[in-house]
Amino acid sequence: METAHQFVAKNHALKTLIAGAYNLTPRAILGGPAWVDSDHYDILAETPGDARPSLDRQMSMLRNLLVDRFQLTFHREQREFSIYTLSVAKTGAKLKESAPSPDASPAGPPPLIFHVLPQGLQLPGRNASMAELASVFQRAALDRPVIDKTGLSGRYDFDLEFTPDDSQFDGAFAKMPGYEDRVKPSLFAAVQEQLGLKLEATRGPVDVLVIDRVERPSDN
């Protein structure tokens, strides 16, 4: 949301838009023609009502837009995938439980967004759940689904700072000038040292979205 009433997405492939709308990693979007990966789109949409919509409401509107503009239809299947599990480390979680705010926004907690710093990346979490943390990891940072196995049901405040490697964020940050001089720990080390959690590679069943039909907007 660039303003309280304007939703903007720039230079996104349709696959990443579907992944965001349905809270999936792009790798869990299967089927469809090659252009769902290669063509890129900008979205500028006005949202109704007087208040800024919550993130869940924004994604609901994005799902409706994808059906309307791309004639998207799909079905779901369960497949065996390489995944990461997010769990509590042996040392215990290092998370500060969020205090209820009497001034909480009707739009809900602020979304988790990665910030670029001179020395690496920062992920500030405020009033965030572990499911939301797993979701932003799988949608933006990592190349496979992330399953929340922490058993933590509360909402927490934290600051995560790390240096991504060339397998994360599609390798974009590993190509930046000065990357070799960055001193922040890797994502996996930072998650354990700073949050008291751990990301472990394994395999497991994942619900995937299989595209049955999709059309370019110009073909409609």
Q: Tell me the whole-structure pTM to 2 decimals.
A: 0.77
At 87-122, the pLDDT tens digits run 999 999 999 999 876 555 555 667 788 887 777 789
Would you say residue 152 has pLDDT above 90?
Answer: yes
Cα–Cα distances in angstroms (integers) from residue 180 to residues 86, 150, 176, in the given order: 28, 33, 9
What pLDDT score does 196 carry?
97
**Range list of β-strands (E), 62-164:** 73-88, 96-97, 115-117, 120-128, 146-148, 156-162
d(CA 61, CA 217): 17
Q: Which residues pair with 121 in a beta bridge?
A: 116, 162
At 6-18, the pLDDT tens digits run 888 888 899 989 9
Q: Residue 8 corresponds to which tokens in the numbers above?
A: 């903007």
How large is the average pLDDT for residues 163-189? 74
Query: Widest CA span of the chain, in angstroms?
Result: 56
Would you say residue 174 has pLDDT above 90?
Answer: no
> Helix 55-70 and helix 14-21: axis angle, to 10°?
140
How large is the average pLDDT for residues 130-134? 94
What pLDDT score does 48 carry?
78
How large is the average pLDDT for residues 35-53? 84
Q: What is the C-alpha R_g of the chain?
A: 18
Q: For residues 215 and 70, is the Cβ–Cβ distance under 8 A?
A: yes
What pLDDT score does 178 carry?
63
Average pLDDT value over all residues in the chain: 86
What pLDDT score does 101 carry?
61
